[in-house]
Amino acid sequence: MHLIANTETIDRLVEQGVDFSRAFHAEFEKDPTGPEAQFLRGEFSGWRSTLHTEYHDGAEEIVDRVLTETRLPIPTGEIGTYLSCAS
31 CB neighbour count, 10 Å cutoff: 11
- The predicted pLDDT at position 2 comes to 62
List, for residues 61-80, the tens digit of each pLDDT value: 999 999 999 999 988 765 44
- Comparing CA positions, the residue from 71, 65, 74, 73 lying closest to residue 10 is 65
- The predicted pLDDT at position 62 comes to 94
Type and span of the H or E element at 53: helix 35-55
Instruction: Check: pTM over 0.85? Answer yes or no.
Output: no
Cα 73 to Cα 75: distance, rounded to the nearest angstrom: 6
Cα 19 to Cα 1: distance, rounded to the nearest angstrom: 25
